[in-house]
Amino acid sequence: MEWYDRAEAYDILCGWDPRPERDFVLGASERYGVGPARRILEPFCGSGRLLRVMPGLAVGFDRNPHMVRYARGRGVRAFRADAARFAVREASFDAAFCLIDSFRYLLTEEAAIAHLRAVARALRPGGVYVLGFELTGDLDPLRSRDAWSGARAGTRVEGEVTCLGDRAARVETLRVRLLVRRGRDRERVEDFQPMRVYARADVVSLLAAEGSFGLAAAYSGYDLDRPVPFEDAAGSVALVLRAHPRGT
């Protein structure tokens, strides 16, 4: 099993306060989109931790059946689908979001374009897609490491993510290590995940080739009053993409 198959461990590890992310998505819809979001879509929804705190009709999908099953068990509306080939009723959502770098699992330009076009079809004209991912100013293969932990009901999960820096053909590999502790039981997991690399110029090129979205704003955190110029954006960013009216 891959690390992402362990839905409960993932949910515990990502169990930080979801309210800043929720408020940012809702605020972005009001400020840049069609107003208050009453119907919300989350691609790559994982365990559904953010959908659980979203108002109105909140729906997500994920390719991993373990995640979808877990999300449904927590009362989330979730279905299984590939992010590059999903389909929902056209113009049926006010806003969409994907905030934890999952977009970079789409490893080709074709897959990324197909995903954005599918999200745009799902949104009302003028709706926003709040897309968070790691943006680099260049392709210098600097190593990086992040480690954190979470605990719930007697289970503790320690996670470590290391970028191995092998950025060939705009793809890097992340090494993910988990240590899951339940009483005296210990489970160690190590997995390697390829992810696509984006510099600012790559984002500009992608949006121009895809054509359904315009860049409304860029942020380096979840404070709506502090957007950053896109030419200065680097590291972990949240882009607010606005869907163009149909036929433009």
Domain match, 216 and 169 both:
no
Rounded CA separation 186/191 (Å): 17
CB 217 within 8 A of CB 227: yes
pLDDT (tens digit, 0 to 9) for every residue of the chain, 248 residues total?
589 999 999 999 999 999 999 999 999 999 999 999 999 999 999 999 999 999 999 999 999 999 999 999 999 999 999 999 999 999 999 999 999 899 999 999 999 999 999 999 999 999 999 999 999 854 444 557 889 999 999 999 999 999 887 777 899 899 999 999 999 999 999 999 999 999 999 999 999 999 999 999 999 999 999 999 999 998 999 999 999 987 65
Determine if residue 114 is left, alpha or beta; phi over 0 gives left, psi from -120 to 50 gives alpha, anything else beta: alpha
Rounded CA separation 241/129 (Å): 5
Rounded CA separation 151/15 (Å): 8
Strand ranges, E, within the chain:
39-42, 57-62, 77-80, 93-98, 123-135, 144-152, 155-163, 171-182, 185-196, 213-219, 235-243
Q: What distance, in Å, lies between the first and last C-alpha atoms of the chain?
A: 44
Domain match, 72 and 189 both:
no
Rounded CA separation 71/11 (Å): 9
Domain match, 170 and 122 both:
no
Domain match, 122 and 152 both:
no
State the pTM of this model.
0.95
Number of domains composing the chain: 2
Domain match, 212 and 89 both:
yes
248 assigned to some structural domain: no
Domain match, 106 and 221 both:
yes
